[in-house]
Structure 1
Amino acid sequence: MTSGTEQTERSAPGAGRFAGRRIVVTGGSRGLGREVVRLLLAEGAQVATCARSAESLDGLRRSFGASSDLFTRSLDIADPELLEQFVKSAADTFGGLDGVVACAGGARGRGITEATHGDWAATWALNVGHFARLAASATPHLKDSGGGSIVVVSSISGWKPGPQAQYGASKAAQIHMVSSLARELGPHGIRVNAVSPGSMLIPGKRWDRMRQDDPVGYEQFTAEFPGGELVRPEEVADVIAFLLSEQARGVTGVNLPVDRGQNAPTPQGY
């Protein structure tokens, strides 16, 4: 595991809902994370983000142009020490933190008889361990700023059963952590919430490939959604931004689904 490359660009914070706000987003180089970073930058925030691939972070920076106030570092979020160093560097660069988003995550392994101990441990580290270490390392900086907001991207798989069990269990743990941390950190002015997306239609990813390669199966899957359409990442990003903002100052300890009313989390259903 290596920390890879790090880059920083600074500019005067712009106008917008997050003008002057300093926010860390893990997993911000693609998919939902990229959309969150884009939205926060557009609304005036200073954003620090990380990903495993230095190349993907370089592409992120190029897409936002030289005026973006963006700090990046390549690292493995499952490495607690590297994650802590990233948070500290972001806070040092920006002069503090006002919010964090645990957007990175994932899963490893197949069904219960096939998944190894390593598969369970890796899935747990990606989702639960990463969220716990991010919250723990950011909390002192949020306290110094007079409070702030922590958001974790969980999943409807955290309470709607679907394959694989190690993924659903780790997402359920994130949701429980939100309730606990909201009580623990509330006295310090820190709000903690979860956003649970449904199946998102992201270009080049699983459901987009299914739409192209298996249109009949995709059409059947859309029946799990009352409106017949999958969730789009920008819809989830809007809700994350709301929870980070002062508009949500009365909201903490909440798991907020953004799933268009989805039933089963996958075409297999349960």
Structure 2
Amino acid sequence: MLGDAPFTYGGEHCLVVSVDLPIVGHVIEATPELPYLCLRLELDSALLSEIIMEMRQRPMLLPPGPGIGLALATADLRDAATRLVRTLSNPRDVQVLAPMIEKEILYRLLTGEQAARLQQIALGASRMEQVSRAIVWIRENFDKPFSIEVVASEAGMSASSLHEHFKQVTSMSPLQYQKQLRLQEARRLILSQSADAATAGHRVGYDSPSQFSREYARLFGAPPLRDVARLKSDPDRFAEA
């Protein structure tokens, strides 16, 4: 989930994310016989640029929209991903073969449905770079109050331009993005550090416990205490959180 937008994908898909987004993940299919398995690969922009130059691929325009997209994972892409995982059983394979397989995976992605998004990451489109700077600043200061003007200055944009392009990339405003980060961190504190709701809310930047409880319930479907009790009573839901 990115905000209210769901992205449902399985073994036949790959998910490409071009900026740091406050995504909430939920495993909806898994059994002991067929467990949930995935491969996450950090995209190397320098290597992407190198491959694009080798391919002599002309830049593709990416229409305005969220910095996230689904694509079908071709048989060649799945094969390369499987071979990359297999190198983990041999340190020498990791050192010698893994870099070559990673390059193959990026090549497969650059010839697929998400090629424009990959090019955008590699070429560092100016607007995307500016929004990324804003995102980094908000993540580092999410527990403090801020104004759009301050974030816009950090990103090198006007306030109106930041608001427009930030929403295109993340599907939310900078303040909504901050709220998502605060509430996700508060939930983590309550679950993993046994913090009480008031303490968690205060640590992520809320001065009003009632406002924190309302916004928490709006995002997670129940107030903090009820949400945590529900998660801890159901190990499967706890694992997904």
When normalised by structure 1's length, the TM-score is 0.27
Q: Which protein is richer in strand relative to its size?
A: 1
Instruction: Give the structure, 1 or 2, with the largest relative contact order (CA under 8 Å, sep 6 or more).
Output: 2
Query: Structure 2 length normalisation: TM-score?
Result: 0.29
More helix by share: 2
